[in-house]
Amino acid sequence: MDRPRLSPTDRRALVAVAAQFFVNGAMTASFIARAPQLRDRIGVSVDGYGLLMTVAASVGIVSSAFAGRIIHTATTRRVLQAGAVALVLSLPIIGGARSPAVWLIGMFVYVFVDALVDISMNLQGSWISARRHTPIMNRLHGLWSLGMLSGGLGAVAANAAGLSTFVHLLIVAIVTAVALAFVTHHLLTSDLEGHGEPEAAPVNGRNGAPSRLPLVLLVAAGMFAVVMEITGGDWATFRLTDDFGATAAVASAAFVAYTVGMTAMRFGGDSLQTRLGRMGLHRLSLAIATVGFVTASLVPNQTVSLVGFFLVGLGVATFMPKLYDDAARLPGRRGAGLGAMSGGIRVAFLITPVAVGGLAGTSLSVGSAIAIFALPAALGLALVTEWNDRLLRPTALTGEAER
């Protein structure tokens, strides 16, 4: 499809949305990286802090359920503007809490609003991406990853300087407030134009009513993708320490390899998508991820495992940008598709660590536990995305020729 060049307004909106992704990642990492200090400040054990995190994370599922209605009524720009205020104000509460109850209040606000912000910025990103000659969703998610890295490094510096969590997160709140004042001023002002293309016709069911099957398949795809991301990233270090007896320093290299692979592909994925098409890149990514999981989890060699985790990072990097973009393009109420998929993703984020950890705690090796979850998830993701592609292809959902 031949698309016109972006207007000056769209170009400013692109810079603003890119900044939103970066800032959002940095804000989240700022308090995640200081979890031990926050735990000590509110006076709970490691297990207790994990339980509190699970309770706080569950609020995101509730927020996702109402996201479509809220965004359709308020518009993405207003959600991002109000969300910026709420996120900034919640950070000092999280950092300054002296009791679990106060900490939960701050986290409830942050998690609830963050889910709405996440969906709104992905909607704006998807709309601008559709108006460009080359897509940008992978790079936007790459900026979020860089924001997470920056927020983590800021936490390291705050620890080194002896700053309390309250002072640190207050500084983060002030800096991000200034940045978000610029960001929200230049965002797209209207949601009506959307992707700048005729809206795709909904897929009809047997009774002639719009079918919910494409949405259900997207939710399933998001959950499969999360299983692959968590098993490939969060359990990489345990594979080396528990299965190979590696030192903590060497084991950290597994997570670094995964992260480098993911970051590299997110910044290179858009150009590959231009050449291969949306599904072409997705199939390539699935193949790379599958090879990576086999080598990382089943080959009894530490060096091969490190290479495998690098391949896993390369492979899974494009899953979320594609699925967010697909959900944003579904016909119907703005944000409804993204809200449903976001809810499914957050459920998978709650369940997967417990399930993998429980299996890894048996007589099985960590590598076996990773393979038991990741390889079926890869097959499931392949099946549901191919099925959805066939369902939606006649409606020209992607707005581009399949290759």
3-state secondary structure the chain: CCCCCCCHHHHHHHHHHHHHHHHHHHHHHHHHCCHHHHHHHHCCCHHHHHHHHHHHHHHHHHHHHHHHHHHHHHCHHHHHHHHHHHHHHHHHHHHHCCCHHHHHHHHHHHHHHHHHHHHHHHHHHHHHHHCCCCCCHHHHHHHHHHHHHHHHHHHHHHHHCCCCHHHHHHHHHHHHHHHHHHHHHCCCCCCCCCCCCCCCCCCECCCCCECCHHHHHHHHHHHHHHHHHHHHHCCHHHHHHHHHCCCHHHHHHHHHHHHHHHHHHHHHHHHHHHHHCHHHHHHHHHHHHHHHHHHHHHCCCHHHHHHHHHHHHHHHCCHHHHHHHHHHCCCCCCCHHHHHHHHHHHHHHHHHHHHHHHHHCCCCCHHHHHHHHHHHHHHHHHHHHHHHHHHHHHHCCCCCCCC
What does the pLDDT read at residue 45? 86
Between 223 and 336, name the one with better pLDDT: 223
The pLDDT-based confidence of 317 (bands split at 50, 70, 90) is: very high
What does the pLDDT read at residue 167? 96
Which domains does the chain show, CATH number per domain? 8-185 (1.20.1250.20), 213-395 (1.20.1250.20)
What does the pLDDT read at residue 6? 73
Backbone torsions φ then ψ of 210, nearest 5 degrees: -55, 130
Long-range CB contact pairs, 269-274, < 8 A, 24+: 269/138, 269/139, 269/317, 269/318, 269/321, 270/134, 270/135, 270/136, 270/137, 270/138, 270/139, 271/134, 273/135, 273/138, 273/318, 274/134, 274/135
Give CA separation, 179 vs 175, 186, 357, in Å. Answer: 6, 11, 39
Burial of 65 (0-12, 13-18, 19+ CB in 10 A): middle
Displacement of CA 279 from its chain's centroid (Å): 20
The pLDDT-based confidence of 46 (bands split at 50, 70, 90) is: confident
What does the pLDDT read at residue 1? 44
Mean pLDDT on 231-236: 86
pLDDT in tens, 108-132: 999 999 999 999 999 999 999 888 8
Query: What percentage of the chain has pLDDT greater than the value 70?
Result: 91
The mean-pLDDT minimum among 47-51, 186-190, 266-270 falls in 47-51
pLDDT in tens, 2-15: 455 678 888 899 99
pLDDT in tens, 257-310: 898 899 999 999 999 999 999 899 999 999 999 999 999 999 999 999 999 999
Mean pLDDT on 31-57: 86
- The C-alpha atoms of residue 364 and residue 325 are separated, in whole angstroms, by 37
- β-strand partners of 74: none
What does the pLDDT read at residue 398? 43
pLDDT at 321 over 50: yes
- The C-alpha atoms of residue 397 and residue 400 are separated, in whole angstroms, by 8
What does the pLDDT read at residue 382? 96
- β-strand partners of 204: 210
The pLDDT-based confidence of 210 (bands split at 50, 70, 90) is: low
C-alpha closest to that of 31 among 42, 47, 19: 42
CB atoms within 10 A of CB 6: 16
pLDDT at 333 over 90: no
The pLDDT-based confidence of 176 (bands split at 50, 70, 90) is: very high
What's the mean pLDDT when you consider all of the chain?
Answer: 87
What does the pLDDT read at residue 200? 53
What does the pLDDT read at residue 130? 86
- The C-alpha atoms of residue 170 and residue 186 are separated, in whole angstroms, by 25
pLDDT in tens, 347-400: 888 888 888 888 888 888 989 999 999 999 999 999 999 998 888 775 444 444
What does the pLDDT read at residue 402? 41
pLDDT at 60 over 70: yes
What does the pLDDT read at residue 204? 53
